[in-house]
Amino acid sequence: MTLDFIKKMIDWFKDGKNLPRRYVWEIVLGAHSHFAKEESMVNLDLEDGVTCDVIGDVHGQFYDLLNLYSLTGEPNDKHCLLMNGDLVDRGSWSIEVILTAFAYKWLYPTRMFINRGNHEAKDMNRTYGFEGEAKHKHGEQTYKLFAYVFTTLPLATLVSATKLPATPDKAAILSPEGRKRYFVVHGGLFSKDGVTLDDIRKIERVGRQPGQEGLMCELLWTDPQEMPGRGPSKRGVGIAFGPDVTRRWCTLNGVTGIIRSHEVRENGYAIEHDGLCTTVFSAPNYVDQVGNKGAFIRIDSSGTQKYFQFDATPHPPMKPMAYAQGGLSSLLM
């Protein structure tokens, strides 16, 4: 894998062409070789001068992803990308999105990170388009390969600053070493108190689907709510967690804040739970009809966050959910 290959592959995709199946398998297996070595929670320490861009759901919106990458820049020695799940489904270029992301993972394994989302799962892929798209473009065995490799994606990433905060903030929750660190996960927190970072790190994920309950399910499916405590999920899977739940969990684990995705936000991001929980969503004008902006978050080596917004980019005349069973359906999941 080379950067030149990735650029030529992107041009190939923009011309509406499919990669030869042998190349697809090589890219997926090349990325898998690195995912398989990572724990269920990856530790990403931002050395002096290194930044990390956290990217939310992109949902198969390939042309928006290319615009996004033009804003973030490619991974390099001083810059990391962290894609926080839901790369596929809904948008009709999910294959192009996932192959581009996996190619970067293969080329820059310590600078490109991908968390699993609730849509990197068989039941969602069957309903929301990725299974149909993968089979249409590359055959059933290729879809099965993707389905397995999705189970090797880490479930969360702990992004840690290595420098002390530039401006002391007595109210901030810091690591035991006095540094800022952010827990990046697709969905959110848990149906019970007391879950530790070590509990997450030890989750056996490979070969497994998220299911309807348990830590893996909740990491990928839960949402924040404004009310204190916990409530039922509007999705029917997972729970909703309040600001008091977030503060207790962050305090227990020495986490400065949670960065999660999983939900559309009109401005591309929203700072919630008294600043302890931020939602970032990176699919602008979601499914060609919501009208939202996209966003990403940049974190530097002192733990400072900056927020960047962007608008949707024109794309060829292909409707969302083109390969899904029953066509365009509910936006909620």
The span from the CA of 66 to the CA of 229, in Å, is 39
3-state secondary structure 44-65: EEECCCCEEEEECECCCCHHHH
Smallest CA-to-CA distance from 98 within 52, 123, 140, 129 is with 129
The span from the CA of 300 to the CA of 66, in Å, is 23
119 catalytic? Reply is: yes
131: left (phi over 0), alpha (psi -120 to 50) or beta: alpha
As beta bridge partners, residue 42 has 157
Which residue is catalytic, options 119, 138, 186, 273?
Answer: 119
Report CA torsion sign: 327, 309, 99, 145: negative
The span from the CA of 266 to the CA of 294, in Å, is 8
**Rg, the chain, Cα only:** 19
Question: Both ends of the chain: CA-CA distance in Å?
Answer: 34
- Please list the active-site residues: 119
